[in-house]
Amino acid sequence: MFAYLMALAISTPVTADRDAFIDEMVNQHQFDRAEVTAVLDRAELNQEVLDAIQRPWEAKPWHQYYPIFLTEKRLAAGLKFWQQHADTLARAEAEFGVPAAVIVAIIGVETFYGEYKGKYPVLDALYTLGFHYPPRAKFFRSELQEYLLLTREEKLDLDELKGSYAGAMGYGQFISSSYRYYAIDFDGDGVRDLLSNPVDAIGSVANYFARHGWQAGQTVAVELPDSSAHADLVTTGMKPEQTIAALQEQGLQLPQGAALDATQLAKVFAFDQPDSVDYWLGLQNFYVITRYNHSPLYAMVVHQFSEQLARNYHDQESFLE
């Protein structure tokens, strides 16, 4: 019975929510009522979107998740992207304090450097999730509102843009609210173009991280040695809330030579391997990566990929010298 009711809720739009959405766009944002009504009328429910959101990659265990992203092909593409945009990446790092390797890792994980920006019409994706997916309908109706504002402000065709099943767009897969608040014009042409301009995308990713509290020059995460005590230190959530010193009092074991300020806030994370568990200590910058995608698996794969990129890029530079 519950499954039937859930299917009914997903398949039948709530008229009251639709009317409230239209009223808000008209009264708070000065949209034309007929225009907003027409937009919702032509938006289409997309079953693939509903299917995709219920099986995210981040639901996989770590040992199945990371091989999707940590590949030789993605590494080679990342090094090429870094070479092509070395000056822009260096400028972004100097201005925002976010390492070039982290920016390159994000764009590589998100869209394979613009190769896979998404196939779903953004309007349909946000409409589908905003009016036909009760678990997160409120959030996605908010993103649909942001999308209408974004396309009006940036003079974009709201019927033409494509993105992920969650409505994320462009090189860095910014959702509409992030596009509005964190996108920047990094090449000075007067347009904030994350859809087709890698320079703006680089600057915008760096700006996003800086605005969310990235600490320049600080450690992201530290792999912990084997210890039975670490399992008891894993808690829910992603925000670091205890100091390293407090965690040590509870049994945290740091690797030899780890130069960490004991007053830093940190959090222990577990990553499942086929027959074991890896434990890592995530610090502030690890938490900032989870602001981009609210998953410790995502943050860890970005961190490890950025480390791979940095090692190989600098080895390559040394060889060329």
Catalytic residues: 110
| Residue 203: CA count within 13 A, CB half-sphere | 17
Asked if 169 and 122 count as a contact pair (C-beta separation under 8 A), the reply is yes
| Greatest alpha-carbon span in the chain | 69
Six-digit token pair at 311?
């090692």
φ, ψ of residue 270 to 5 degrees: the values are -110, 135
Query: Tokens for 156?
Result: 């974009």
* Residues in Cβ contact with 271 at an 8 Å cutoff, skipping those fewer than 6 apart: 62, 277, 278, 279, 280, 296, 297, 300
Among the listed residues 193, 188, 208, 177, the one whose alpha carbon sits nearest the alpha carbon of residue 106: 208
From CA 65, how far away is CA 83, in angstroms rounded? 27
- 226 three-class SS: coil
Residues 6+ away with beta carbon under 8 Å from 308: 70, 75
Q: What is the dihedral of CA 211, 70, 65, 253, to 10 degrees?
A: -70
Are the CB atoms for 288 and 214 separated by under 8 Å?
yes
